[in-house]
Structure 1
Amino acid sequence: MKAKIVYASMTGNDEDMADILEEDLQDLGFETDSSEVAFADASEYLDSDLCIFVTYTYGEGTMTDEIADFYDQLKELDLSGKYFAVMGSGDKTYGEHFCENVFDYQKAFLACNATEITAPVTIENAPDDEAIEAIDQAAREMADKLNG
């Protein structure tokens, strides 16, 4: 199984999440490819079985230009037959906007006819032990469903 991970990271937190997930998936037998969003094109998902996006949410849910550009590319794709997962970090001081971009991407993948393979993983700021376990669990769910 091939997994494509695209991540957006302003502080390094989401790059850390993507790295943890990539290592987990490799340990579970996936062939992985990981890219920072500024160096990726959404069409790269067409060559993978599993499409993953890891993002931060800036302030009150505003997408930065690089995240918005990739989002617009994604919305043009038909990902029928593909699975997806989304995860990311945010700051709970923004209340209802906490990890809003993660859920924006979840809706975009669903609109592209992709099948959600695991619930979104959202964490506050940097990945701590609890967050790492949530990422590990999500990776196991992905492997169970696709390799099962």
Structure 2
Amino acid sequence: MRAKIVFASMTGNDEDMAEILEEDLLDAGLDVDTSDVSFTDASDYLDSDLCVLVTYTYGEGAMTDELVDFYEQLKQLDLSGKYFAVMGSGDKTYKEHYCENVFDFEKAFLACGAKELIAPLTVENAPTDEDIDRIDQAAEELANKLNG
């Protein structure tokens, strides 16, 4: 099974999350490719069984330019037969906008016909040890569902 992880990271928090997930999925026997959203076309997901997006939400939920471009590309794809997961970081001081972009991408993947394997995983700011454990558990669940 092939997994494509795309991450967007302003502070490094989401890149760290993507790296943890990548290592876990590799350990579970998946073929994993990880890349920064700025250097990735959404159509790269077409070559994978599992499509993962790890993103941050900046301020009150407005997507940054690189996220908007990727989001618009993603909405044009047919991902029927693919699986997906989304995760990312945010700041709870923004209340209803906390991790808003994570949920925006969840809706986009669903609209493209992909099947969600796990609920969105959100982290406040940098991943703590508890958050790392949650990422590890998510990776295990993803691998188990993919490997049937």
User: TM-score range, shorter-chain basis?
Assistant: over 0.9
Question: Are 2:52 and 1:89 aligned?
Answer: no
Query: What is residue 9 of structure 1 aligned with on the other side?
Result: 9
For the residue of structure 1 that corresponds to 2:123, the secondary structure is strand
For the residue of structure 1 that corresponds to 2:69, the secondary structure is helix
Query: What is residue 23 of structure 1 aligned with on the other side?
Result: 23
Query: What is residue 139 of structure 2 aligned with on the other side?
Result: 139
Q: TM-score normalized by structure 2? A: 0.99
Structure 1: 4+ residue segments shifted above 6 A: none
Deviations 1:102-127 (A, max 9, x none): 00000000000000011110000001
Query: What is residue 125 of structure 2 aligned with on the other side?
Result: 125
Q: Distance in 1 between matches of 2:94 and 2:13?
A: 17
What is the correspondence of 1:18-97 to structure 2 with a 5 Å cutoff? Answer: 18-97=18-97
Identity of aligned residues (%): 75
For the residue of structure 2 that corresponds to 1:77, the secondary structure is coil
> Which letter does structure 2 place at the counterpart of 1:109?
F
Aligned length: 148
Aligned-residue offset at 1:70:
0.1
Q: Distance in 2 between matches of 1:145 and 1:34?
A: 20
Q: Distance in 2 between matches of 1:133 and 1:4?
A: 21
Aligned-residue offset at 1:130:
0.9
Structure 2 unaligned residues grouped into runs of 5+: none
Aligned-residue offset at 1:57:
0.1
Query: What is residue 116 of structure 1 aligned with on the other side?
Result: 116
Q: Distance in 1 between matches of 2:100 and 2:75?
A: 17
> Which letter does structure 2 place at the counterpart of 1:61?
G
Q: Distance in 2 between matches of 1:29 and 1:138?
A: 15
> Which letter does structure 1 place at the counterpart of 2:145?
K
Q: Distance in 1 between matches of 2:42 and 2:24?
A: 23
For the residue of structure 1 that corresponds to 2:46, the secondary structure is helix
CA RMSD for the aligned pairs? 0.4
